Amino acid sequence: MSGKAAASGTGYDGILWCIVIALVAVGVWGNSYFASESVLLRTIVLLALAGVAGFIASRKAKGRAAITLGKEARTEIRKVVWPTRQETTHTTLIVVLVVLVVALLLWGLDSLLSWIIAMIIG
C-alpha cells in the first residue's frame, strides 16, 4: 500500500515540476515575444512568474532542499571577512607588477630564442 502512495506522490511531483518548467518557459518566451513592451512591465511579470514557480517548487522536497541550500550559503557568505579597500589596492598592484615582470621575462626569452634561431638558420 505504501508503494501506491509513493507512486502517486511521484506522479504528483512530476506534474508540479512540469508546471514549474512551463512557467519558466512561458516567462522566457513572453519576454522575447513582448520585447517591444516596457522593460518595467516585463520585469514585473517575470518576477511574478518566478514567484509563482518558486512557490510551487518550494512545496516539494527538492525545492525545500534548494531553499535550505540558499539559506546556508547566505549564512556562509556572512562569515566571510572581506578585504579592506587598501588591501584590495595593494593586492591588485602586486598582481599587475608580477604580470608585467613575467611579460618582460617572456618577451626577453622570446627575443633571445628568435635571435638564436635566426643565427642558426642564417
pLDDT digit string, tens, across residues 46-76: 999 999 988 888 888 888 888 899 899 999 9
Residue 65 sits in the same domain as residue 14: yes
Question: Which cell goes with 73?
Answer: 550559503
pLDDT at 5: 47
pLDDT at 112: 96
pLDDT at 66: 84
Residue in the structure block whose three cell numbers are 642564417: 122
pTM metric for this prediction: 0.49
Residue 35 sits in the same domain as residue 11: yes
How many domains is the chain built from? 2
Question: Which residues of the chain are under the pLDDT cut of 50?
Answer: 1-3, 5-8
Residue 55 sits in the same domain as residue 112: no
Residue 64 sits in the same domain as residue 91: no
